[in-house]
Amino acid sequence: MTAVSRCRGWVAQLAVLALIALGTTFALEFADPQYAAAQSSVRPPADATANVMGGTVPGMSRSSDSASEIWRAVRKGVKGTVSIPDKKAGHLVQSEGDSWRAVRNGPIATWGVIGLAGVIALLAVFFLIRGKIRVEHGMAGRTITRFTDIERIGHWLLAVSFIILAVTGLNITYGKYFLLPVLGKPAFAALAAGGKWLHSYVAFAFMAGLAMVLVLWIRENFPDKYDLIWFLKGGGMIVKGVHPPSKKFNAGQKILFWLVIWGGLGLSLTGIALLFPFQIDFPAGMEPVQQMQFATTWHAVIALVLTIVVIAHIYIGTMGMEGAFDAMGTGEVDENWAREHHSVWAKEVSKSRRGRKARAKAKAAPAE
């Protein structure tokens, strides 16, 4: 650096200092004398508050002007404003979270276990007393078609997806208590993450299956006169040799159908809300976070109820009743099974079949 440039630097600094000094004098000259006086001490005069507010101070805890009303309102969920983009953050306290936690970790978790264990215990007792429900007149060896390919595809799409969803869902609710201690945290977290991923995608298969089943079977699931008889006779499950008449579906199956349809619809709607968190505003008059709490709570409740019901359905469709699985397995059921469990339907089918055969014969006859 040359001597000249160093000198220039000094001159510039001096000029700046002079400007600041000038400015300050100028400001003091024209400023309000009151402010000038206040600057002499950072402490306000002893009677400052009395002068300004007439004895009250905003938010003081020792006067009627207390701000405690504000905080009480905030505690009850009154929202403020924030300058960050996420406007939900203006919600200072959401006390509903405590209720959500209490319901989820309390009644839902407890009653879910009681329900699941209860239904398995009940089925075990039923099996011990009643045993496998046999086809009373023995297998006829001749079969009739109960479910077409498309019906079975719909059923199994719904069934397989439901089982995957139920298992992964139960893992979210109960895995922490049962699986985590066995697997350890890292392995369990990996499993739960995979389960969550599966749950999100298989959900769509479930919804498709639900729609198929609804379209295919809704006609046969409206109540009819045989349903009452079915109930009165305990579905023919209690006493051997009792076979209440029924069409394609008996009253028990109809109840299952409507539980699955309405429950499935509830699961789908709440599930969609959870798949797209905070992206759909349901017109429910609730805060976004409350909507999510509502969705998870109902999702869990409906899912547990359906799982409990479906366990019983799986039992009666497999080990509980001879010949029942064929309906969904091959789609062909034994004639005697059909006559015992769905007598009205069996008659209708064989009649129409005979009619078709007769018509076919009549058509074929002139060729002779």
CA distance 84 to 90: 9
Shortest CB 202 distance to another protein, Å: 14
Element (H, E) at 162: helix 149-178
Closer Cβ to another protein, 95 or 318, answer by number: 95
Query: From the CB of residue 113, how many other CB atoms can be counted at a distance below 10 Å?
Result: 16
Residues that bind another protein (CB under 8 A): 57-63, 67-68, 70-71, 74-75, 78, 80-86, 88-95, 97-98, 100-101, 104-105, 171-173, 175-176, 180, 185-186, 188-189, 192-193, 196, 200, 275-279, 289, 292-293, 296
CA distance 175 to 188: 8
Shortest CB 310 distance to another protein, Å: 22
SS3 56: coil
Closer Cβ to another protein, 261 or 275, answer by number: 275
Decide: 88 and 278 in contact? Cβ < 8 Å: yes
**Pairing of β 143-145 and β 332-334:** antiparallel
Shortest CB 153 distance to another protein, Å: 26
CA distance 131 to 242: 15
Shortest CB 235 distance to another protein, Å: 38
Closer Cβ to another protein, 105 or 330, answer by number: 105
Encoded tokens for 122: 């009940």
Closer Cβ to another protein, 236 or 271, answer by number: 271
Where do we find the tokens 């006609």?
A: 219
Closer Cβ to another protein, 125 or 189, answer by number: 189
Shortest CB 115 distance to another protein, Å: 19
Shortest CB 298 distance to another protein, Å: 13
Q: What is the DSSP letter of 145?
A: E
CA distance 92 to 111: 33
Where do we find the tokens 């995957």?
A: 164
Please provide the DSSP assignment of 308-365 as one string: HHHHHHHHHHTTSBTTTHHHHHTSEEEHHHHHHHSHHHHHHHHHHHHHHHHHHHHHHG
Closer Cβ to another protein, 165 or 321, answer by number: 165
Residue type, 133: I
Give how far Cα 182 sits from Cα of 19, 165, 179, 188, 193, Å.
Answer: 76, 22, 5, 9, 17
Shortest CB 79 distance to another protein, Å: 8
Shortest CB 309 distance to another protein, Å: 24
Closer Cβ to another protein, 19 or 93, answer by number: 93
Closer Cβ to another protein, 127 or 174, answer by number: 174
